Amino acid sequence: MGGRARAEVELEQLSKQIRYHEAAYRAGVPEITDAAFDEMVERYQELADLLGIDPAERLDAQPGADHTAGFETAEHRVPMLSLEKLSPNRRDSSGEPMPFSDQLSAWFRRRKKELEIDELPVIVEPKVDGISVSLLYTNGRLRRAVTRGDGRKGDVITKQVAQLGTVPTKLAGTIKGDLEIRGELYWPLTEFARFNATLEKPLINPRNGCAGMMKRKKPAGLEETGIRAFFYQIAWDDGVELPATQNEALQWLADRGADVYLSEVFQTISEEDALRYCEDYDARRGTLDYDIDGMVIKIDDLAMYSRLGATGHHPHWGIAYKFPPERKPTKLLAIEVSVGKSGKLTPVAILEPVFVSGTTVSRASLHNFVELERKDVRVGDTVLVEKAGEIIPQVVEVDKTKRKRGARRFVPPKACPTCGTEAVSEEIFVYCPNPACPDQVRERLRHFASRQAMDIDGMGEVLVDQVVDKLGVRAPDDLFRLEVDQLAALDRMGKKSAENVKAGLEEAKERGLGRVLNGLAIRHVGETMAEDLAAYFKTADALLEFASRYVADDEEVVQTVAPAKSTERGAIEGLARKSADSIFHELDSPAVRKVFAGLADVGVSLSVKAADIRELAAIAGKTFVLTGTLPTLKRTEATKRIKAAGGKVSGSVSKKTDYVVAGDDPGSKFDKAQSLGVEIIDEAALLALLGEAE
């Protein structure tokens, strides 16, 4: 394989990796550190540059990279680009590691040459670890708040930001004109710990918790979280008199009531002093009440920014210094393969125990076999271990200078290590397709009993392990067949606890079809898709009959959910052809049909709950799009009522849309509906269609 072909293969693998880890981050379950993710993105950009990929076609330019369903989007007037970073993985032309000092010196030289100056005044600011936000003010009043999103457009979170009470909705003084201020929403450590202590299921860390809170559809109560903001940039203005330097701009913001960290800003013309300040700050960060993952070095003269311009993925006026996470070397003793609830096979590093970030680590994630090959990890290697988000141990690098001769690459398994079934590959993952695999059984039962699925009170992971190991439970229906005496005989269980679990099982029988579908761990079926499938098919019998016809290539049913034309929507919002193929083939499998039969036999409800069914002729089969703020209905409640009446709710407007329900500040969906001639109604008209008008 030639050099270009190898680069193309690596670029495609990195694309899949980046998409996967972005999705994991948005879901609040990151598997790798920011530094590791940044390394992937930097390598992706290097390869994209090498291959001449148009910036508009690159992964980081794809729309919706951080979009959450149900949120309006808004385009950034000036893109919110990531900064170039001083990277611990950068190498010089001879292949030797390039120290931060050399990288920063090169950056200083480039900027001086481009600006034709001898001295480059810069300021150094802390980089608080939160979520970026863009705030648009008109005549000093907050008009709109938007997340970074994909850098070009983000989600509108104006109501959420206003509810916090820590972002000024009115800037002090008299201000005429428009301006955009950029900053970071973050969760102070003490406030995060206080709030986390009130939760039954603690949040993973302050940043992910903050991101999740700001995407709550109902902002009420956000002021109780303690989430704060600080501001670091005026991105653009229209008619506002502003200072000439970044340092003065920060003071201008402070004078108008915006939180900035002026006392933490360092001014210099020396690249050595700038780097030393970054390194000294690293030593201080353990004393701070907020997470900080690095520093930002910016040119102070704002007039120089437009002269320098930007690449497709970062501006030239600044560079980021990322604090190196604690990494410890240790020996990789072996690589094991774990089996997840969906059958995903994941390589796990077995390590000589090493103390990292407060705990002793003997196992660490290797994520997937593509990543394993990319890092060229081999048994016997000396590896560097760190924790993703200070929580999840992972192998980040191999010290190849200590590799022994003859060390062999790890070959992905051809068969499941637990049950021996031939493995199958899909994208960057390898799966065991045997639903009876013992490890899958255990993980699926844990998921089935979990709060987001059947929510079986008292049936935690420890108890699931016991009923599998000691009582022979293998399928979801086996759980409902358990008797009080059997449960009472297990470790740490008595009669009262057993009775409570049995009562929890009886209560769970009435959760309905949506919860059951979510609990079965069918690939591509999460909570939303499970609810949408249940709402459309109403009963398991109808769903399974449809699956059988789909698998038989009945053109009528295939076109119903997965039209051949990409411009046409199927009956179930968000269900693409590839996912539909996977879902309906799995639903039609003997193993899944057996599970449904078993659940029906023990009395588990396999229908949409009767209280949720009230199909109305004016709504059924119609597609609705919601936009803006409705007078009385929250968007989630409006969506629920439309679906319960047999309608569909889409996130975007097309010619197939029947109604756009518009509230205050409706945004671009309103404009598109007008241009397409789609009927636009208000909340009162929607309630009339639902038969709920006063």
Query: At residue 415, what are phi and psi to the nearest 5 degrees?
Result: -135, 160
Mean predicted confidence (pLDDT) in 70-87: 85
- Is the same domain home to 376 and 451? no
Catalytic residue among 85, 127, 153, 215: 127
435-447 average pLDDT score: 88
| Residues ≥6 apart with Cβ < 8 Å to 38 | 85, 87, 322
**Residues 394, 396, 400: CA angle, nearest 5 degrees:** 130
Q: What is the CATH number of the domain that holds 605?
A: 1.10.150.20
In a domain, 419, yes or no: no
Please give the Cα distance from 528 to 550 (Å, whole number): 21
Mean pLDDT of 130-144: 94
Same-domain status, 523 and 545:
yes
Domain presence at residue 465: yes
Same domain flag for 608 and 484:
no
In this prediction, residue 587 carries a pLDDT of 94
| Rounded Cα gap, residues 686 and 638, in angstroms | 9
Tokens matching residue 75: 């385009």
pLDDT attached to residue 568: 59
Q: What percent of the chain has pLDDT over 90?
A: 41
**Based on the structure, what is the number of domains in the chain?**
6
- Are 347 and 376 in the same domain? yes
pLDDT at position 378 is: 94
3-class SS of residue 97: strand
- Residue numbers of the domain that contains 384: 328-411
Q: Tell me: do 280 and 360 sit in the same domain.
A: no
Q: Are strands 424-426 and 328-339 parallel, antiparallel or unpaired?
A: unpaired
My answer on whether 215 and 245 are in the same domain is: yes
Residue 234 has pLDDT above 50, yes or no: yes
Q: How confident is the model at residue 690 (pLDDT cuts 50, 70, 90)?
A: confident
The count of other CB atoms within 10 Å of the CB of residue 363 is: 12
Q: Domain containing 361 — which CATH number?
A: 2.40.50.140
Among 562, 581, 612, the domain boundary falls at: 612
Which of 612, 641, 671 is the C-terminal boundary of a domain? 612
Bigger pLDDT: 233 vs 28: 233
Assess if residue 171 is contained within a domain. yes
Cβ atoms of 516 and 509 closer than 8 Å: no
Residues 435 and 443: beta-carbon distance below 8 Å: no
Question: Which candidate, 248, 229, 322, places its Cα nearest to that of 282?
Answer: 322
- What's the CATH code of the domain at 662? 3.40.50.10190
Final residue in a domain of this structure, among 584, 612, 640: 612
- Whether residue 127 lies in the annotated active site: yes
- Average pLDDT, whole number, for the chain? 85
- Give every CB contact of residue 263 below 8 A, 6+ residues apart in sequence: none
Mean pLDDT of 672-692: 86
Give 518 or 13, the one with higher predicted confidence: 518
Range among 33-37, 308-312, 543-547 with highest mean pLDDT value: 543-547
Instruction: Supply the pLDDT for residue 61.
Output: 43
Are residues 256 and 221 part of one domain? yes
pLDDT digits (tens, 9 = 90+) for 381-432: 999 888 755 567 888 889 988 998 888 889 889 999 999 999 998 777 899 9
* Tokens 């761990």, residue located: 521
Asked if pLDDT for residue 368 goes beyond 90, the answer is no
260 and 404 fall within a common domain = no
Residue 40 lies in a domain: yes
646 and 616 Cβ atoms separated by less than 8 Å: yes
539 and 489 in one domain?
no
Condensed to tens digits (0 to 9), the pLDDT of residues 505-544 reads: 999 999 999 999 989 988 788 777 888 898 889 999 999 9
pTM score of the predicted model: 0.53
pLDDT higher than threshold 70 for residue 33: no
The pLDDT tens digits of the residues spanning 250-300 come to 999 999 999 998 888 999 999 999 999 999 998 887 788 888 888 999 999
Are the C-beta atoms of 157 and 147 separated by less than 8 Å? yes
74 inside domain: no
